[in-house]
């Protein structure tokens, strides 16, 4: 007997399975779609937000623990500070406390490395000006010097050279816990050193100044009109007289003859330069020059060692020149030839 397929049964079977496949495919598509939407909205929402805490003046370890709890990460920088007690503490932070950021953000923390100087040096036997310059260089980048010198200084006569530091407080080796002020006792040199005054009359001011510098004596200059039989521009009187014994701390007064109407025979202007500088414990090198009106190289008028007070010196320079006064190779004053003393700002120098 030949088998005859039941087409109606086959069609019903295929239809039923096709319907199940479509339902399953639709279910899979729905699940995949829901998963994609979930991922999309999670990504759209982004990372969680965190409030930046105030970490200033806290120990670094505590700050790191709090950042970790908020899923924030540190970027650490170190620097010296003004107090040894600040070592290991947070000095600054960025972003500021209270700022809302995304989790995972890096927070910049500036941590104190303590003070640059831990103990006081032994300054005894050193020159006070050298110590001043060393401290300025050490704290040049600081708005407030960590170690400063108490002014005015205390002085006493000593066999040590002038300006030598004899005693100090705090003592060498003392710990530095914060800003310190150094108190120094400085030598004035041997008491009542007498020096023979050289003969200066008849010399040009620059020659007289050179002899006084060799002798180690101070000076003051003044002008008076030239008299009959005199040469203009020379020393006509000195006090004390030649060969007199003068203490090293005293100055020799010199009187110089000035040409009529303040003009030399070649038309140069003749006058008296005056400028006052603070008193120093030891004489410092100073220089007076002029810049010609047409520019070019400066012309040196005077070089001396000067301890402070009123610096006076006769000058002769072409009209329109500018006088330049320097101390330790640094310009501190300018003025036009023939004009009254006038301060210029550092921007103009």
- pLDDT, tens only, 201-253: 999 999 999 999 999 899 999 999 999 989 999 999 999 999 999 987 789 99
Q: Are residues 244 and 320 in the same domain?
A: yes
Give the count of domains, the chain. Answer: 3
Q: Are residues 157 and 273 in the same domain?
A: no
In DSSP terms, 276 is beta-bridged to 310
Which uninterrupted H or E stretch holds 187? Answer: strand 180-187
| Within a domain: 323 | yes
Give the Cα separation of 256 and 234 in Å (integer).
5
| Within a domain: 36 | no
Give the Cα separation of 254 and 343 in Å (integer).
26
Among 14-28, 236-250, 259-273, the least confident range? 14-28
CATH number at residue 79: 3.30.10.20
Per-residue pLDDT at 342 exceeds 60: no
Overall residue count recorded for the chain in this entry = 349
What pLDDT shows up at residue 253?
A: 97
| Within a domain: 30 | no
Q: Are residues 92 and 215 in the same domain?
A: no
Percent share of the chain, pLDDT over 90:
52
Give the Cα separation of 145 and 132 in Å (integer).
11
Query: What backbone torsions phi and psi does residue 2 show, to the nearest 5 degrees?
Result: -85, 135
| Within a domain: 73 | yes
Q: What contacts 24+ positions apart, CB below 8 Å, involve 320-323? A: 320/293, 321/269, 321/290, 321/291, 321/292, 321/293, 322/290, 322/291, 323/273, 323/288, 323/289, 323/290
Q: Are residues 161 and 204 in the same domain?
A: no
| Within a domain: 39 | no
Coil/strand/helix, residue 287: strand
Dihedral sign of CA atoms 59, 64, 69, 74 in order: positive
Give the Cα separation of 66 and 52 in Å (integer).
10
288 CB neighbour count, 10 Å cutoff: 22
What pLDDT shows up at residue 28?
A: 75
Asked if residues 125 and 164 have their Cβ atoms less than 8 Å apart, the reply is: yes
Among 93-102, 286-295, 334-343, the least confident range? 334-343
Q: Are residues 172 and 305 in the same domain?
A: no
| Within a domain: 157 | yes
Q: Largest alpha-carbon pair distance within the chain? A: 170
> DSSP letter at 82?
S
What pLDDT shows up at residue 84?
A: 59
pLDDT tens per residue across span 274-315: 999 988 767 889 999 999 998 889 999 999 999 889 999 999
Q: Are residues 107 and 239 in the same domain?
A: no
Per-residue pLDDT at 113 exceeds 70: yes
For the purposes of burial, counting CB atoms within 10 Å of the CB of 326, is it exposed (0-12), middle (13-18) or buried (19 or more)? middle
Give the Cα separation of 221 and 207 in Å (integer).
13
What angle is formed at CA 274 by the lines to CA 268 and CA 275, rounded to 5 degrees?
135
Give the Cα separation of 124 and 342 in Å (integer).
40
pLDDT band of residue 31 (cuts 50, 70, 90) is confident
Q: Are residues 230 and 200 in the same domain?
A: yes
CATH number at residue 163: 3.30.10
Q: For the whole model, what pTM was predicted?
A: 0.48
Domain final position from 152, 169, 187: 187
Q: Are residues 102 and 143 in the same domain?
A: no
Percent share of the chain, pLDDT over 70:
83
Mean pLDDT of 160-170: 92
Q: Are residues 107 and 214 in the same domain?
A: no
What pLDDT shows up at residue 226?
A: 94
Q: Are residues 224 and 274 in the same domain?
A: yes
| Within a domain: 161 | yes
| Beta pairing, strands 251-258 & 165-169 | unpaired
Q: Are residues 261 and 280 in the same domain?
A: yes
Per-residue pLDDT at 347 exceeds 50: no
Give the Cα separation of 180 and 146 in Å (integer).
6
Q: Are residues 170 and 249 in the same domain?
A: no
pLDDT tens per residue across span 41-82: 555 455 578 889 999 999 998 999 999 888 899 999 888 776
**What average pLDDT does the structure give for the chain?**
84
Give the Cα separation of 299 and 314 in Å (integer).
14
Asked if residues 284 and 305 have their Cβ atoms less than 8 Å apart, the reply is: yes
Q: Which residue segment(s) compose the domain that 332 sits in?
A: 194-336
Among 82-86, 103-107, 185-189, the least confident range? 82-86
What angle is formed at CA 299 by the lines to CA 313 and CA 219, rounded to 5 degrees?
20
> DSSP letter at 288?
E
What angle is formed at CA 259 by the lines to CA 255 and CA 263, rounded to 5 degrees?
130
Asked if residues 222 and 251 have their Cβ atoms less than 8 Å apart, the reply is: no
């Amino acid at each position: 007997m030949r088998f005859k397929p039941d087409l109606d049964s086959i069609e019903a079977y295929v239809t039923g399975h096709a319907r199940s496949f479509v339902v399953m495919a639709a279910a899979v598509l729905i699940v995949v779609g829901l998963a994609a939407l979930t991922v999309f909205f999670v990504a759209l929402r982004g990372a969680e937000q965190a409030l930046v805490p105030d970490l200033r003046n806290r120990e670094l370890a505590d700050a790191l623990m709090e950042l970790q709890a908020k899923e924030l990460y540190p970027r650490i920088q170190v620097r010296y500070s003004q107090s040894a007690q600040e070592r290991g503490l947070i000095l600054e932070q960025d972003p500021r406390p209270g700022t809302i950021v995304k989790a995972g953000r890096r927070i910049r923390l500036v941590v104190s490395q303590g003070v640059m100087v831990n103990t006081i040096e032994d300054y005894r036997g050193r020159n006070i000006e050298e110590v001043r310059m060393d401290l300025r260089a050490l704290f040049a980048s600081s708005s407030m010097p960590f170690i400063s010198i108490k002014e005015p200084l205390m002085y006493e006569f000593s066999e040590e050279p002038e300006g030598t530091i004899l005693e100090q407080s705090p003592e060498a080796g003392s710990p530095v816990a914060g800003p310190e002020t150094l108190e120094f006792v400085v030598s004035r040199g041997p008491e009542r050193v007498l020096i023979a005054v050289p003969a200066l009359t008849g010399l040009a001011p620059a020659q007289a100044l050179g002899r006084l510098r060799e002798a180690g004596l101070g000076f003051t200059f003044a002008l008076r009109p030239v008299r009959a039989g005199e040469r203009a521009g020379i020393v006509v009187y000195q006090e004390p007289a030649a060969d007199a014994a003068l203490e090293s701390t005293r100055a020799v007064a010199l009187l110089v003859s000035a040409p009529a109407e303040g003009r030399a025979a070649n038309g140069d202007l003749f006058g008296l330069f005056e400028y006052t500088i603070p008193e120093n414990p030891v004489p410092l090198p100073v220089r007076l020059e002029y810049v010609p009106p047409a520019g070019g190289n400066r012309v040196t008028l005077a070089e001396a060692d000067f301890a402070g007070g009123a610096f006076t010196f006769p000058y002769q320079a072409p009209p329109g020149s500018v006088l330049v006064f320097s101390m330790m190779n640094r310009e501190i004053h300018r003025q036009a030839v023939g004009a009254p003393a006038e301060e210029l700002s550092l921007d103009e120098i």
